[in-house]
Structure 1
Amino acid sequence: MGKTWSIALAIGLLGTGVLAGVPAGASPGGVRWGPCPADAAAPGLECSTIKVPLDHRAPEGQQIDVAISRLASKNPEKRRGILLTNPGGPSPGLKFPAELAAAKLPQSVLDSYDLIGFDPRGFGHSTPVTCDLTPEQQAVGNVPPYARNAADVAKRAEQSKAIAQQCATSKTSWLLPHISTADTARDMDRIRAALGEEKTSFAGYSWGTYLGAVYTTLFPQRGDRIILDSNVHPTGWDYANDRLYAQGFDDRFPDFAKFAAAQDGTYHLGSTPEKITAKYFELAGRLDRKPEQDVDGATFRMLTYGFLFSNAGMPLVAKIWQAIDTGQPLPPIGSGEGTVSNVDNMISGRYYTICADSRWPRSVATYQATVALDRLRHPMFGAAGANVQPCAFWQSPAAPPVRVGDQGPSNVLMLQNERDPATPLAGAKRLRQAFGDRARMVTVDAGGHGVYPYVGNHCADTAATAFLTTGQRPERDLACAAEPR
């Protein structure tokens, strides 16, 4: 599949197993820890499985597996409990504690907690699901393709209907009524209990912020210190959230325009941010008319969007633009087939989860109207976020919604970049409002997806570390100025 697959995989990810090994040391709750599976192995990381109810309304009924991991504190005198973690996605999180440590999570936090990871139900080693997705279907991950017109929406609707039908007839379709954020939050409380802890702290990122919000809503007295980083709005990943991607792109793109203009001697895309913006529309329009090197206008827009999740992606975006602009071969984009163990499971699990969490519009005409509106309001990317997802044709009823509100202890700290393309500040502000006095929010004058410890902003890092290690939050919402890396 070559270059086409590499591009598809890069876009699609912009997101059956029993754990092997002889049991080793036990946790206070009786969990037996042993080696991790190969795809989650990391220095110091231990793994296990626990059983949780398939249906939490029938706790004594059928059980399924949830795979968990532990990066244990090596300082018993300073250890105060567990910090359950989630990387977002939704996606597997078994290796995430080791990834946080590698990202330079402060030693004081590593001393204070056993970092606990887990694959959410339906993912990885936790009773995985499938929709039997083809490589082409896997290529459309979190965000649907940019729709130039109503016909593009109708085409995407047919593709989405096929995916929904595949999910409904797959060998794991029996799990459809039981894969939701609320189900996963209830699993988290089972993990806490299995580890013998009265309370759990939590650090969730991206979709993991919604998971954390649901957990602390369902179990307000079980949460200790709750960190939510790069926040989804309070109703989770629904159609309104998809439409926010357009605002996120608008917020983030000026950072790239400044970068590319400053590097005009290298990339020759324009000497001012205004010229870079014009070049975006020029290249997108050109590729809409005639795709080049397996890149059409929708793919070009998606690559630009996805690789601006971090500043490290800006040079690659500029190189892609330069190659298209000059007719040169594209730079390496994806790391190739086989580097992700199961893309089908990751994308299928996301559909199982988000389509169960809320009701999506079912009329194709509704999507055609909102795409046309958002293309005008947000011409850079609005016609992607407003396009159709398989949830429009989902054949399993949505789970009862969990209303995030202000009832419960004041133990939530939200962290948010001002120019996050994936979870824009606009959505974070809505979650902050929903939490009321339960939360404080730290905003950072920075772009990209992920704050702690990824941006390296001393102001935000200090606030988050102090909260996790001492319980002290800022007295009021805090705005952190930009800091050079």
Structure 2
Amino acid sequence: MKRQRGIGRSSALVVVLGLAGSLLVPPAVAAGPQTPQVRWDVCPDDVVAEAAPTVLRCATVPVPVDHSDPGGARIDLMISRLASTNPDKRRGTLMLNPGGPGGSGLALPALLVAQGLPDGVLDSYDLIGMDTRGIGHSAPVSCGLTPDGPYISNIPPYAVDDAAVSAQAKVAEQVAEQCASHDSDGLLRHLTTANTARDLDLIRAALGEERTSYLGYSYGTALGAAYASMFPERSDRIVLDSNIGDTHLDRDGMRRYALGMEQSFPDFAKWAAARHDSYGLGRTPAQVRRTYLTLAERLDKAPVAGFDGNLLRLSTFGQLFKKMQYPKLAQQWQTLADGDSTATRRLLSENATAGDAPSSFDNSLSVFLAVTCNDIKWPEDVGTYRSGVAGDRERYPLLGAATANITPCAFWPYDPAEPPVAVDDDGPRNVLLVQNLRDAPTPHVGGKMLRHNFADRSRLLSVDDGGHGAYVLGDNACALNTTTRYLVEGRMPGKDTYCPAG
């Protein structure tokens, strides 16, 4: 899960939301006499401000840059803690991840408290947030990306034809080369889901815990699935919410964004049709859909104040994450449909936030690229992407010609160091998969995929709701109660469960 911001050329849309030869796979990390001791202290000012009024404590844990060389160079990872204040009910640690890859998680314990995380969970666990390797306060990486450059989103631009794919290929190749040129300390190539899972186990050991529980959203489900598969005996209660479907994001996974938008868009279309007299976007859901497609094509040919069809598609996709964003999205469409340049510039200015600072933009996108491209080999032939774009433009007209387009992973300078983590069904039944039926970046099929691969280790909780994030972030009582019951009491549903709407 990545909290959404206004979408313009001044902001990145980072969502989830992605091997050859003789490969050395580092062994599982074990606690030993050299396990560092965690010393809690005041958090950095930016974390304090984001977490307020909740007060968190922060610390650092050293980890190897290269887990196959544990005696080599090390980096410090910053973690945060909201400690349980009920020793009689405390059962251990609950590690948290907000998704991305590229999302900072240091303030996440406080943000979940603000969203209404139940007291039973707060009593049962020390909540552990973190900036995983390469992010924020944990040895941040940079590709030198800027908000006014040609690469403004982890989702490629919508390709209206084959020529647009070829043009994007040149940008993608330039970005890959730029990332390599900025990788002066050699850290970028070590940003992988598997290495981050190994980091989690070192953090667990440093905290003095034999096992750890985990709550991850969006890409955080890939990280959690990797940890539960690599370290099943050290995983306690695992909750994976808004699943991408595997332990890595690959080309098929990114193309599922387009499927998710097709499944989520009708909720907004129905909402907007019921408010036609206010927004004028169509009296029926079908008319609202036509309004979107017509407006996008018009902006492709004649942008308003620099706002083109690609930005309309990305902005609409991002604002389908939460129903509370529907009014802002409808207002945006109104402004663009009117062709009012002054109002459009004002709208973009109002939507920009401090979180869109160039350093944050660069770091988030750089981590997304590194993890996604390092985890698995992507196709290199531009023709493969042209074919995919043509097919998905017809199959998923709302966004398909964007998510099937070519990315810098096609030109990435580093080959994956190891195969992606395989989801392992050999372990305790301790993985609860939570999935909304309609979710733009992580459609319901992602939960079904992990359910199949985890087999009897898991149960799938399907929620009749739209939006990104069900537990605490949604408003479905069944999803909230079922997940809380598992985290606090360990009561895993005996079978896959359906939560009706409302």
The TM-score normalised by the length of structure 2 is 0.90
What are the within-5 Å matches in structure 2 for residues 349-428 of structure 1?
Answer: 349-400=367-418, 401-428=420-447
Q: What's 1:456 paired with?
A: 475
CA shift at 1:89, angstroms?
A: 0.8
CA shift at 1:162, angstroms?
A: 0.7
Q: What's 2:13 paired with?
A: 12
Q: Matched residue of 1:66: which SS?
A: strand
Contact residue 64 and residue 127 of structure 1 kept, 8 A: yes
Q: What's 1:35 paired with?
A: 42
Q: What's 2:274 paired with?
A: 262
Contact residue 15 and residue 441 of structure 2 kept, 8 A: no
Cα distance in 2 between the residues matched to 1:220 and 1:274: 47
Cα distance in 2 between the residues matched to 1:286 and 1:153: 20
Pick 1 or 2: higher relative contact order, CA cutoff 8 A, min separation 6: 2
Code of the residue aligned with 1:40 in structure 2: it is V
CA shift at 1:475, angstroms?
A: 0.7
Cα distance in 2 between the residues matched to 1:433 and 1:14: 24
Contact residue 244 and residue 424 of structure 1 kept, 8 A: yes
Question: Which residue of the other structure, out of 60, 80, 88, is the alignment partner of 1:69?
Answer: 80
Q: What's 1:189 paired with?
A: 201
Deviations 1:388-437 (Å, cap 9, x if unpaired)? Answer: 11111000111312111311111000111100001111222111111101
2:316 counterpart of 1:300: no
Cα distance in 2 between the residues matched to 1:362 and 1:67: 36
CA shift at 1:287, angstroms?
A: 1.2
Consecutive unaligned residues in structure 2, runs of 5 or more: 1-5, 17-34
Consecutive unaligned residues in structure 1, runs of 5 or more: 16-27
Deviations 1:276-317 (Å, cap 9, x if unpaired)? Answer: 111111111111221122111111111111111100111111
Deviations 1:16-70 (Å, cap 9, x if unpaired)? Answer: xxxxxxxxxxxx9731101101121132200010101111111122111111110
Question: Which residue of the other structure, out of 139, 155, 160, is the alignment partner of 1:127?
Answer: 139
Deviations 1:431-480 (Å, cap 9, x if unpaired)? Answer: 11111011101111111100110112111111100000011111101111
Code of the residue aligned with 2:125 in structure 1: it is Y
The change in CA–CA distance for 1:128 and 1:10 in structure 2 (over 3 A counts) is: closer
Q: What's 1:290 paired with?
A: 302
Select between 236-245 and 341-350 the one with higher mean Cα deviation.
Answer: 341-350
Q: What's 1:18 paired with?
A: none
Contact residue 130 and residue 172 of structure 1 kept, 8 A: no
Cα distance in 1 between the residues matched to 2:190 and 2:13: 24
Cα distance in 1 between the residues matched to 2:257 and 2:496: 24
What are the within-5 Å matches in structure 2 for residues 57-136 of structure 1?
Answer: 57-90=68-101, 91-136=103-148
Q: Matched residue of 1:409: which SS?
A: coil
Cα distance in 2 between the residues matched to 1:254 and 1:139: 29
Question: Which residue of the other structure, out of 339, 347, 362, is the alignment partner of 2:355?
Answer: 339
Cα distance in 2 between the residues matched to 1:338 and 1:29: 35
Question: Which residue of the other structure, out of 291, 302, 306, is the alignment partner of 1:279?
Answer: 291
The change in CA–CA distance for 1:138 and 1:103 in structure 2 (over 3 A counts) is: farther
Q: What's 1:251 paired with?
A: 263
Size of the alignment, in residue pairs? 467
The change in CA–CA distance for 1:57 and 1:50 in structure 2 (over 3 A counts) is: same
CA shift at 1:383, angstroms?
A: 0.4
Contact residue 176 and residue 396 of structure 1 kept, 8 A: no
Q: Matched residue of 1:444: which SS?
A: strand
Select between 297-306 and 328-337 the one with higher mean Cα deviation.
Answer: 328-337
Cα distance in 2 between the residues matched to 1:311 and 1:106: 22
Code of the residue aligned with 2:237 in structure 1: it is R
Select between 334-343 and 321-330 the one with higher mean Cα deviation.
Answer: 334-343
Q: Matched residue of 1:212: which SS?
A: helix
Cα distance in 2 between the residues matched to 1:335 and 1:323: 14
Cα distance in 1 between the residues matched to 2:476 and 2:67: 41
Q: Matched residue of 1:421: which SS?
A: coil
Contact residue 151 and residue 175 of structure 2 kept, 8 A: no
Identity, % of aligned positions:
48
